[in-house]
Structure 1
Amino acid sequence: MTFSFSFVLVWLELAGVFFFAVSGSLLAARKQFDLIGSLLLASVVSLGGGVIRDIILNTGPPAAFTNPAYLAPPVLAVVLVYFLFSSVQRFTSLLVLFDAGGLALFCITGTLKALSAGMNPVAAVLLGVTTAVGGGLLRDITANEVPQLFDPRDLYAVPAFAGATATVVLSLTGAFTGVSACVVAAVVFALRITAWRLHWHFPLAVRGWHRLGLDAAESDS
């Protein structure tokens, strides 16, 4: 666990922060926020899940407030979107792609930190999922959007559950390495994007109810 925690974990976490920050800054640009609003939304989505995780673990101040490196990705994301958004705004899937990248990485890092703190495997999976979806939930609520987590026409938490479970299995069997972490992240990313493109979903809470809009679109096609 020393190798994974001292090296892989830090870089996976920073990469996840950057991906989530870009998704937040893209949403801010689409909402026509100013630069300060873009930076705040990018920071909320990219650091929010990790802050929630660290508070639950009660291992001291959240890493986002003790390590200045965590502040660099949101700033970089805001700058990139500021200069590039005018040429990419027509690609509506871009936000989903970056969000999926953050989701894939954070479900791994959240699970690893939970295991390192002595949590049992089930609790580690749950905290890994919380870390992965927490930032996106805060982003959507802050921007007055329907949270993707509760979108009945999409799967959002399921890929995170799969990634967190795979991370637990690999860690407990001693098979977790940088390569296996990248494989897990790639599978979670692919699962999230595929579910979004193909409209995979679970049945609604009450049998017989229908998803407004989606069912009509499917019947027309």
Structure 2
Amino acid sequence: MPAELAAIPAVASVPVTAHAVAAQVAVPVWLELIAIVVSSVSGALTAREKNLDLVGAVCLAALCSLGGGLLRDATLQVGNVYILNQPAALPAAIITAAVVFAIPTVIAKQDRLIAVFDIFAVGLYAATGADKALVYGFSPIICVTMGFFTGVGGGMLRDVFLGQVPHIFRRSNFYAVAAIAGASAYVALASAGISHVIAVIACVVVTMGLRWLSLRFNIMSPTEVDLTRVVPRRHRARRAAELADDASREAPATKPRLNRPDRSTAELAERRRRTLADIDRRREQERRTAALDRLKRARRKRNQRKLDI
């Protein structure tokens, strides 16, 4: 009996999200494979740019395509692990990496098509990541975060493995912001009772739309924000005057300055006088040296004439 009572707190500590409160959204397998293949292409091309071998290309392709979902599943610790539950996921990433590694020029020429499918994959991943957290009863902000991790986590892990600052943390056109907006749209629609299929479509449309707008009008993510520049000028002047008054009140009393000549001007004049005197002294020394040289040459000439005679 005491052992049973001691086990009660452990049972009570089990989170309520241990079982799904609804079924996860059903995404067609061919759509999942398209997203995996496109993301794998991105990772394999990056491996080619960094002069990695075939193993490096496969690893980067798997990270780009499946790393976000793995990060989500490891964080949530509920339900199935996608990379283990979908038998075609990892082989698709490996085959894609091998093909791109062998014939990169054919794939690299389709850069615009790859870019379109890449942001489509980000939107699809963001929707599925947010959906998994939502069906297991997590809060909306956790659902959006999981959608963000699933959408851009693969690229983030790729950059970390390459030892560089993740691209999503640098100033660029909307990419991570688009994933967050898409996941937020999905969570908002799904929580409102709208069909999860419609919510997935809305998530993809919002993600791709924001990405396109940022590229079309060159909208960049900000690197620094200074709200003091937004304050009206008169308020800034008033604030500066208040700070000056506070500084004058806090400053210690100083002795009154005596009326005396400007030392800096006198020092400059004295320095100029010494410089001119030094120049005159050097010139006089050069003249004396030149005169001595002339006398020596004349003396040598006289001695030479005497020897000739």
Query: Structure 2-normalised TM-score?
Result: 0.58
| 2:26 match: secondary structure | helix
Match of 1:118 in 2: 137
Match of 1:212 in 2: none
In 1, distance between residues paired with 2:54 and 2:25? 34
In 2, distance between residues paired with 1:44 and 1:100? 16
In 1, distance between residues paired with 2:153 and 2:215? 19
Structure 1 segment 15-54 matched on structure 2, within 5 A:
15-54=34-73
Match of 1:108 in 2: 127
Letter in 2 for 1:52: L
2:58 and 2:98 in contact (8 A); partners too: no
Match of 1:207 in 2: 226
Task: Give the Å deviation of 1:179.
Answer: 5.0
CA, structure 1 residues 73+133, in 2 after alignment: closer, same or farther (shift >3 Å)?
A: same
Letter in 1 for 2:37: F
In 1, distance between residues paired with 2:58 and 2:161? 13
Q: Name which structure has the greater RCO, CA cutoff 8 Å, separation 6+.
A: 1
For residues 11-43 of structure 1, the C-alpha deviation after alignment (integer angstroms, 9 at most, x for no partner) is 654443332212111211222322221111001
CA, structure 1 residues 30+90, in 2 after alignment: closer, same or farther (shift >3 Å)?
A: farther
- Residue in structure 2 matching 1:176, options 195, 198, 210: 195
Structure 1, unaligned runs of 5 or more: 209-221
In 1, distance between residues paired with 2:115 and 2:195? 27
Task: Give the Å deviation of 1:149.
Answer: 0.7
| 2:223 match: secondary structure | coil
For residues 161-212 of structure 1, the C-alpha deviation after alignment (integer angstroms, 9 at most, x for no partner) is 111111112212332343552343133123224324543123323439xxxx
In 2, distance between residues paired with 1:9 and 1:53? 20
2:126 and 2:203 in contact (8 A); partners too: no
Letter in 1 for 2:108: Q
The number of equivalent residue pairs is: 206
Task: Give the Å deviation of 1:44.
Answer: 1.1
Query: Structure 1-normalised TM-score?
Result: 0.78
Determine if the alignment matches structure 1 residue 73 to structure 2 residue 57. no
| 2:63 match: secondary structure | helix
| 1:7 match: secondary structure | coil
In 2, distance between residues paired with 1:171 and 1:42? 31
Structure 2, unaligned runs of 5 or more: 1-21, 228-309
2:68 and 2:151 in contact (8 A); partners too: yes
Letter in 2 for 1:150: F
Determine if the alignment matches structure 1 residue 131 to structure 2 residue 131. no
* Identity within the alignment, %: 34
1:121 and 1:168 in contact (8 A); partners too: yes
CA, structure 1 residues 92+63, in 2 after alignment: closer, same or farther (shift >3 Å)?
A: closer
Two-structure CA RMSD over aligned residues (Å): 2.8
For structure 1, which segment, 54-63 or 34-43, has the greater mean C-alpha deviation from structure 2 after superposition?
54-63
Larger radius of gyration: 2
CA, structure 1 residues 102+78, in 2 after alignment: closer, same or farther (shift >3 Å)?
A: same
In 2, distance between residues paired with 1:135 and 1:161? 15
Match of 1:165 in 2: 184
Letter in 1 for 2:209: A
Task: Give the Å deviation of 1:59.
Answer: 1.4
1:148 and 1:154 in contact (8 A); partners too: no
Letter in 2 for 1:157: A
In 1, distance between residues paired with 2:133 and 2:33? 17
1:9 and 1:109 in contact (8 A); partners too: no
| 1:8 match: secondary structure | coil
